[in-house]
Amino acid sequence: MELNPSNQRQSPLYKKVRDHINKTGYIINPLLVVEDKDKYKVVYGNNRYLSGIELGFTEFPIQVLKDDEVPTIREAAKSYKDINLDEI
Confidence of residue 6 (pLDDT cuts 50, 70, 90): low
Q: Pick the closest to residue 5 from 46, 49, 55 (CA basis).
A: 46
Res. 82: pLDDT tops 70: no
Give me the pLDDT at residue 8, please.
47
Q: Spell out the domains of the chain, with CATH numbers in brackets.
A: 5-83 (3.90.1530.30)
- What's the pTM? 0.72
Q: In the prediction, which pLDDT does 55 show?
A: 94
Q: Contact at 8 Å (CB) between 31 and 42?
A: yes
pLDDT (average), residues 76-84: 62
Cα 86 to Cα 16: distance, rounded to the nearest angstrom: 9
- Is pLDDT above 60 for 88? no
